[in-house]
Structures are given as C-alpha cells and as structure tokens.
Amino acid sequence: MSVKFDHQFNAPADQLWAIIGTPDRIDWVPGVTSCTFDGEVRSLHLPGAGDIKERILSRDEDSKTMEYSCFETPAPLESHHASIEIIPNADGCRLLWETTVAPIEIETFIRTSMEGCLERLTEILGQPNAG
C-alpha cells in the first residue's frame, strides 16, 4: 500500500529542507520525544508507542531528496520504504512524500502520522493551515 502527499509550502525549499533533511531533527514529527542518528540509522522514541528505527538509504543536499526505510518497530511490519523530494517553484516549494508499507493494516497509522507531520511543518514555517 502506498501513501502519497503532494503539498505546496509558501516557503523557500532551503528552509523546508533544513527541517526535513536533518535526520535527527524531530520537532516536525508528532509524538517523537527523542532521536539519535549515527550517520545511517535514525532511532526515534515515541512514549506509549515504543521505539522505531529507520535506515537513511540516501540523502542528497543538492536535489533535496531523501529515502529511508523503517526496519524496527513495535508493530508487525513486513516492509516500509519512504521517499521525500522538495521541489522549488515560484510560490515556494512542493513536498512530494511517498511511503510504501505492508501489511495494509499499517497504512492508516502511516497516513495519520504523515498528515500530522504536514500540519506541524506548516506551523513551524509559520504558514496559514491550508487544510
């Protein structure tokens, strides 16, 4: 199952990348209280939900792209792969974010989490909520 978001931000691409492209920055991820990043693996702590580990598969400053895969989670997870791309445009930038996950039962959690992240990013960037 794939969850996709194509979201326009009225902020410069560099400003959004400074948030999303920093693997151990967590203020934009609801529920996460701490994070460590060893250069390859990002370990996230979510009180009440447990710990999650994600491997950063690729990260490119110039193209503002990142791919990551969750490989350890309290929930039964068969597979997870996510890609992020930030595209500058005349109005600011677009965030293309896609996550493919199995089993399908995890999809609702992933979608809700991604929506929460988009809301938090909107707040951090000081933009009106586009809904």
The 10s digit of each residue's pLDDT in 22-48 is 999 999 999 999 999 999 999 999 888
Q: Residue 93 forms beta bridges with which residues?
A: 9, 88
Model confidence at 128, in pLDDT bands (50, 70, 90)? low
* 122-127: average pLDDT: 90
Of the candidates 105, 90, 116, 127, the residue with the CA atom closest to the CA atom of residue 5: 116
The pLDDT value given to residue 76 = 85
* 66-87: average pLDDT: 94
CA distance 14 to 50: 32
> How far, rounded to the nearest angstrom, does the alpha carbon of residue 29 sit from its chain's CA centroid?
7
Instruction: Tell me the CATH architecture of domain 2-22+56-124.
Output: 2-Layer Sandwich (3.30)
Considering the chain, what is the average pLDDT of its residues? 93
With contact defined as beta carbons under 8 Å apart, do 54 and 71 qualify? yes
The 10s digit of each residue's pLDDT in 49-66 is 789 999 999 999 999 999
